[in-house]
Each structure stands twice: as structure tokens, then as C-alpha cells.
């Protein structure tokens, strides 16, 4: 399993380098171009979920004591699992859906389409399932009724948001600013000051001197994160490609590496300061964190719901708002409840996505003449 993962990661890195070196000046534009900040707000909030908000404080102690992570500090480890290099996964797929798919249309092949949208639906529901599973650790003492009711509400809100792409954009922009507000509030609570924040950012910078360690899985938990990014890579690239507005390929890859990493670096540095100080986050502060995490889950679910409903033609225009919301809420919430009785793991979905990458590579080879024509015209 890890051998397959390692090969897949290396191929993504090599493909990214090849695309930038060969077609770095190619201008990428989606069919719904939006402003740069809006594009990255959609990317950031769609491609991340509540784990970004809640996991680090529980993971820092693990990274501090386990031998697999002793080559650098816990803050650099956490950043390496969420930031910088792993955003290349989204670059490859965004490039593909901007440049190649509109003409090659591999994802319109019926069986490829079924597999792809099956992955989207399964991952969408699995995200809700993980939220359901971890809720007791986010909200201490939560009752079963409130737990299942909150998940039902989150799914309903996400499906409602997916009914109009404007709602997706508004929610993404709002939650991005909300996340920056959370960083400021927690920074003030931690009492880091500018010097403390700067000191932690320097520690986080140790990631870059150890970046080679993060290419291949060095622990089971690192492999879990890599599988997670693979599981999301095709569908997030497919969704956000429509919003790209006139970026050159090299600008896109540089932006993907840097822009999402900035708020992640700030957030992790603030949380690491709180961890080192031994401060406990309770009451309204914990509630604020959970609230932002819930919004991130909604962002992820509405993007994926919008994607598969567009792909399959199961849209508001076809069914009407009430039937659309009822049908997709029922589908996703039923799957979330069903997952409780299965041993499904994100690694399985990641493996299926890697398999889909292999299938696309084979189809590339079979249609290499058309692919050469597409890329040849891109040179001109």
C-alpha cells in the first residue's frame, strides 16, 4: 500500500515539474473565472475541513515524543502534513481540467464518469461521517441527539449552499475572513506577541530544510495524510479549475505553494504557542474554533455536492429547489449513517483515486495523438 502511495507521490511531483518547465507560460482560464482572492478562498475552504482547526493541538504531543518525527520539531511536522508541497496535488488536476479535459473529455467517458462521481459522493459523505465521529472530541459532553442533529443541519446547509454557485463563493469568502479572525483571537489569547509569533514561524521554517523527508511516507500517520490529499485531489482540481482567471501555469503553482501556506503557517504557529504555554482552550474560545470548523465542513460539502450534481445533471434547474435539497440531503445523510456500519477508511478512497490516475495515464497513451495536438497548440 505504501509502495503504491510512494510511486504516486513521485509521479505527481515529476508531472508538476514537467508541466511548469514545458508549459509554464501557458495562461489558464476556467469557464467561470473569478478574482484571485476569491479563487484562493474557494480553493482553501473547499480543500480543507475541520481537521485543520482542531487536529494540531492533539497532534503536537504525538510529534514531540514519537521517534518517526524526531528529525524536526512538532510545528514543522504539522505544517508539512498540511502546507506547501502537498498543494502540488491540486496543481496537476487544476492544470488538467483547465487545459486538457475541455478537449480530451476523458471524464465524460461513461465508466470514468461513474467512477469519478462515485468517488466524489463517497468522499463527500465520508467527510460528514468523520465530522460525526470526531464531534465528541470537539464538543465535550455532546448528547447523541445534538450530535446527529448538528451533522444533519451541516449537510442540509451545505446542500442549500450548493443550489447556487454564488452561495458557494460568498460562504468561501466569509469563512476565509472568519478564519483570519480566529487566528487573531487565538493569538491574543496565547499572549505570543509579535516576537513569540516570529519565533514560532522560525521553528516552522525548519520544514523547508527537511522538505525531502515529506516527499515519501515516513510513518503510517503521514501516509494517512497523503492518502487524504490524493482522495481529494481530482475532485478539488475539477471544481476549482472553473474559477481560474488568466493565471500562467508557473504563477498558479507558485501561488498554490505559497498563498494557502501563509494562513496555515500563522494558525499552526499560534496554536503551537498555546500548546507550549500549556493553556487550555475552553468556553467561548473552543466554541469559536468549533464554529469555524463547522463552516469549513460546510464549505467542503457544498463544493463537492455542487460538483457531482453538475457532473450528473442532478441540478436545481432539473428538479426544482425543494426536490433537489431533499434528494441530496437524504442521499448524503443516509451514507453518513451507513458508514458507521462499514470499515471504510480514507486510505481506500485514496487508493481508488490513485487507480483512476493510472487509468487516465493509460487513456493518455491511447489518445496520445490528440493529447500531443492539444499540448502542441498550447505552445503556440
Question: For residue 285, what are the β-bridge partners?
Answer: none
Q: Which of 60-68's residues contact partners 24+ apart within 8 Å by CB, and which partners? A: 60/271, 60/272, 60/275, 61/275, 62/221, 66/219, 68/218, 68/219, 68/221, 68/222
- pLDDT, one tens digit per residue, over 246-291 is 899 999 999 999 999 999 999 999 999 999 999 988 889 999 999 9
**Which strand (E) or helix (H) includes residue 120?**
helix 110-138
pLDDT at 117: 94
**Structure-derived torsion over alpha carbons of residues 187, 201, 131, 327, reported in degrees to the nearest 10:** 100
- pLDDT, one tens digit per residue, over 195-248 is 999 999 999 999 999 999 999 999 999 999 999 999 999 999 999 999 999 899
Give me the residues of the chain with pLDDT under 70, please: 375-380
Rounded to whole angstroms, the Cα distance separating 89 from 68 reads 24
pLDDT at 380: 58
C-alpha dist (Å) from residue 62 to 69, 86, 276, 291, 365: 9, 21, 13, 25, 44
CATH number of the domain residue 117 falls in: 1.10.4160
Domain count, the chain: 1
pTM for the whole thing? Answer: 0.92
Q: Which domain holds residue 202?
A: 2-379
Rounded to whole angstroms, the Cα distance separating 245 from 189 reads 38
Amino acid at each position: 500500500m505504501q509502495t503504491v502511495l510512494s510511486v504516486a507521490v513521485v509521479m505527481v511531483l515529476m508531472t508538476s515539474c514537467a508541466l511548469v518547465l514545458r508549459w509554464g507560460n501557458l495562461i489558464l482560464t476556467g469557464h467561470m473565472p473569478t478574482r484571485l482572492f476569491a479563487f484562493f478562498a474557494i480553493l482553501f475552504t473547499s480543500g480543507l475541513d475541520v481537521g485543520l482547526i482542531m487536529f494540531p493541538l492533539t497532534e503536537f504531543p504525538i510529534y514531540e515524543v514519537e521517534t518517526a518525527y524526531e528529525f524536526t520539531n512538532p510545528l514543522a511536522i504539522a505544517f508539512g502534513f498540511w502546507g506547501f508541497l502537498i498543494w502540488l496535488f491540486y496543481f496537476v488536476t487544476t492544470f488538467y481540467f483547465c487545459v486538457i479535459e475541455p478537449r480530451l473529455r476523458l471524464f465524460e467517458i461513461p465508466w470514468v464518469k461513474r467512477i469519478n462521481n462515485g468517488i466524489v459522493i463517497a468522499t463527500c459523505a465520508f467527510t460528514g461521517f468523520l465530522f460525526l465521529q470526531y464531534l465528541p472530541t470537539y464538543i465535550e459532553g455532546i448528547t447523541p441527539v445534538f450530535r446527529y442533529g448538528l451533522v444533519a443541519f451541516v449537510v442540509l446547509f451545505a446542500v442549500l449552499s450548493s443550489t447556487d454557485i454564488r452561495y458557494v463563493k460568498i460562504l468561501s469568502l466569509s469563512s476565509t475572513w472568519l478564519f483570519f479572525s480566529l487566528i487573531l483571537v487565538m493569538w491574543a489569547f496565547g499572549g505570543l506577541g509579535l516576537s513569540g509569533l516570529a519565533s514560532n514561524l522560525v521553528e516552522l521554517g525548519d520544514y523547508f530544510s527537511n522538505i525531502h523527508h515529506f516527499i515519501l511516507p515516513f510513518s503510517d500517520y503521514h501516509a494517512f495524510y497523503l492518502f487524504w490529499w490524493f482522495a481529494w485531489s481530482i475532485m478539488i482540481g475539477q471544481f476549482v479549475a472553473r474559477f481560474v482567471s488568466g493565471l500562467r501555469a508557473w504563477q498558479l503553482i507558485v501561488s498554490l505553494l505559497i498563498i494557502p501556506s501563509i494562513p496555515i503557517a500563522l494558525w499552526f504557529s499560534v496554536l503551537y504557542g498555546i500548546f507550549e504555554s500549556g493553556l487550555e482552550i475552553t468556553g467561548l474560545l473552543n466554541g469559536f474554533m468549533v464554529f469555524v470548523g463547522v463552516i469549513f465542513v460546510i464549505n467542503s460539502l457544498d463544493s463537492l455536492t455542487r460538483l457531482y450534481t453538475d457532473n450528473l445533471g442532478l441540478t436545481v434547474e432539473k428538479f426544482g429547489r425543494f426536490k433537489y435539497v431533499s434528494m441530496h440531503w437524504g442521499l448524503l445523510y443516509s451514507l453518513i449513517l451507513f458508514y458507521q456500519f462499514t470499515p471504510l477508511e480514507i486510505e481506500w478512497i485514496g487508493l481508488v483515486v490513485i487507480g483512476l490516475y493510472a487509468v487516465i495515464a493509460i487513456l493518455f497513451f491511447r489518445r496520445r495523438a490528440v493529447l500531443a495536438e492539444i499540448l502542441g497548440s498550447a505552445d503556440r
